[in-house]
Amino acid sequence: MQDWWRGAVTYQVYPRSFQDDNGDGIGDLPGITRRLPYLAELGVEVVWLSPIFRSPMQDMGYDVSDYCDVDPVFGSLADFDALVARAHGLGLKVIIDQVLSHSSDQHPAFVESRENRTNPKADWYVWADPRHDGSPPSNWLSVFGGPAWAWDARRKQYYLHNFLTSQPDLNYHNPKVQDWALGILRFWLERGVDGFRFDTINYFVHDPLFRDNPADYRVKAEAEANPYAMQYHLFDKNQPENLIWLGRIRAVLDEFGAASVGEVGESHHAIRMMGEYTAPGRLHQCYAFEFMGYDYSAAVFRDRVEEFFKGAPDGWPMWAFSNHDVVRHVSRWAEHGMSEEALAKQTGSLLLALEGSICLWQGEELGQTDTELAFDELIDPQGIAFWPAPVGRDNTRTPMVWDGSDKGGFTTGTPWLPIKPPQAARNVEGQLGAQGSVLEHYRGMLRFRKTSALRSGRTRFFDLGEPLLAFQRGEGEGAVLCLFNLSPVARAVMVTGVGAVTGPSVAAHLSGDRLTLGPNAAAFLAVTGVVTVTV
């Protein structure tokens, strides 16, 4: 199917934390392969693997030293090939992370580039002379804190690093770098992957004049925990040349019938950028962090969805509530839930009812929460740098819990991050087949999405006011009315033009035209005529 990705549900696997089969406490490819039937039976269609490439692991694999080999901690290329074959045999697609905006400082190209200004790789990374006072060439900041420039005494120049100093940025103004990156894509496509998730897709190209970023125009009462958010990032990323580069990526993907997902890391105009980046001839789909904040309101969900489809009728979004970089949403939105379980079911229902493609972060289907970690338990450099800010990286990346044993069925060794009692209580074995469990609710929602207008129907919203969210998916026969009470207090609405409550609805009861929505209710109703919804 040509557009297999459109409306599909992707499951993000964090390889270090999914399943360890060799007992070293770190997840691996054979472990993932063994657990693929679980994902197929869950009902997802695509598996996204976070980075598995050779890496010094300064940023848990997002610092790549060899893009065409598997890091031994995860296994081998043969293990990867076996994983892809098993996934395809189960009807699952496989996409893998590509971290191409920057590499590890141990990558051979950077080792060569920093030797002098005349070597063949001299212009493969972003180098710049100091200002006359010796300071960096611009005021650009690193996402991980401090300046985005590091001094190199060999070249007597600064190099750009938008993240760790050990993650130098590649220079995509250089056509040779673009050609090299396309060669990496071909290597993995020829091994059978079905596509890529592109990390930090809007960071590829920088302003060649190194102009200073202005301060964020939004007034801030006090300094942010991370000062990166205090700038309006006009020049260090989001450059128009980036769109031309995306066209080259798309051409290669089209040769193989492969799909792409782009991560838009931006706090300004992210929805607009998602549309631009998924225009015809660019990426297939993009996601941003619009639903990964602390706002749990009907207005936010409605505004972002309407904004995308109004601004980009030919684009395509991917929506997610959590991933490996943020606090899990059941923890983030806890104040809006009658209980964690009720909130987990509602958020699963809402996410899977949205128009677009969907990404589930591993453990969401269990109602998993963030793990409370002490400072000495942290590994993530971002978490350490900004302690005690709740940056949600190690806290959200703790191992998947498969059963109620002391190590959760994840490993026979010592888990690389601890599994604590609140997380251990939310395990697969304890929920699988258990009526009313979060896991069984997700399984039901995934089946419902596949077989209803939730997969491809267009969206029409109704005006109800907070905390009620209502929209219709599709028109005519098969259309579905979706209603959500985004609060822990019961509400009621009057509805016409619908049949009985259907699908995996939660805490909803229809009596005549009166629909009672209990705390954190999710209601799905078959459309039988012209729908009206009033408070």
pLDDT at 390 exceeding the cut of 70: no
- Report pLDDT for 389: 79
DSSP assignment of 351-370? HHHSSSEEEEETTGGGT--P
Count the alpha carbons within 13 Å of 348 in the hemisphere toward its beta carbon: 31
Q: Quick one: average pLDDT of 131-147?
A: 97
CB 484 within 8 A of CB 342: no
Q: How far apart are CA 176 and CA 503, in angstroms?
A: 53
Q: Is there a shared CATH topology between the 9-103+174-449 domain and the 458-534 domain?
A: no
Are the C-beta atoms of 503 and 472 separated by less than 8 Å?
A: no
Q: CA-CA distance, 428 to 405, in Å (whole number)?
A: 11
CA-closest candidate to residue 83, choices 37, 117, 132: 37
pLDDT in tens, 205-232: 999 999 999 999 876 666 778 899 999 9
Percent of the chain with pLDDT over 70: 98
Structure tokens at 99: 């971290």
State the Cα–Cα distance between residues 341 and 334, nearest whole angstrom. 10
* Ramachandran sector of residue 397 (left: φ over 0; alpha: ψ -120 to 50; beta: rest): alpha
Per-residue pLDDT reduced to its tens digit, 420-430: 999 999 999 99
The upper half-sphere exposure of residue 416, i.e. CA atoms within 13 Å in the direction of its Cβ, equals 23
Please report the DSSP string for 222-270 in residue order. Answer: S--SSGGGGB--SSSS--THHHHHHHHHHHHHHHHT-EEEEE---SSSH
Mean of the pLDDT values across residues 371-389? 92
Check whether the bond before 317 is cis (ω within 30° of 0): no
pLDDT, tens digit, 9 for 90 and up, residues 481-529: 999 999 999 999 999 999 999 989 999 999 999 999 999 999 999 999 9
* Domain ranges across the chain: 9-103+174-449, 458-534
d(CA 510, CA 501): 7
The β-bridge relationship of strands 93-98 and 149-152 is unpaired
pLDDT of residue 221: 61
pLDDT at residue 2, rounded to an integer: 76
SS3 (DSSP) at 175: helix
Contact 161, 152 (CB under 8 A): no
Domain covering 458-534: architecture? Sandwich (2.60)
Bond into 422 cis (ω within 30)? no
- What does the radius of gyration of the chain's CA atoms come to, in whole angstroms? 23
pLDDT of residue 328: 97
> Average pLDDT for residues 99-119, to the nearest whole number?
98
Question: Are 495 and 533 in contact, with CB atoms under 8 Å apart?
Answer: yes
What residues are annotated to the active site?
Answer: 199, 255
Q: Are 498 and 520 in contact (CB under 8 A)?
A: no
The amino acid occupying position 208 is P
What's the confidence (pLDDT) of residue 250? 98
CA 414 to chain centre: 27
CA distances from 426 to 20, 39, 272 (A): 18, 17, 37
The whole-number pLDDT of residue 373 equals 95
Mean predicted confidence (pLDDT) in 146-154: 97
Section 237-241 average pLDDT: 97
Rounded Cα gap, residues 9 and 360, in angstroms: 7
At the top level of CATH, the class of 9-103+174-449 is: alpha beta
181, pLDDT greater than 90:
yes
* Rounded Cα distance, 329 and 438, in Å: 14
Average pLDDT over residues 56-64: 97
Q: Parallel, antiparallel, or unpaired for β 127-128 and 157-160?
A: antiparallel
Residue 149: which pLDDT band, with cuts at 50, 70 and 90?
A: very high
| Helix spans in 43-145 (H) | 77-89, 108-113
Under a CB-based contact definition with an 8 Å cutoff, are residues 448 and 504 in contact? Answer: yes
- The pLDDT mean for the chain works out to 96
Q: What's the whole-model pTM score?
A: 0.97
Q: What is the mean pLDDT of residues 340-367?
A: 98
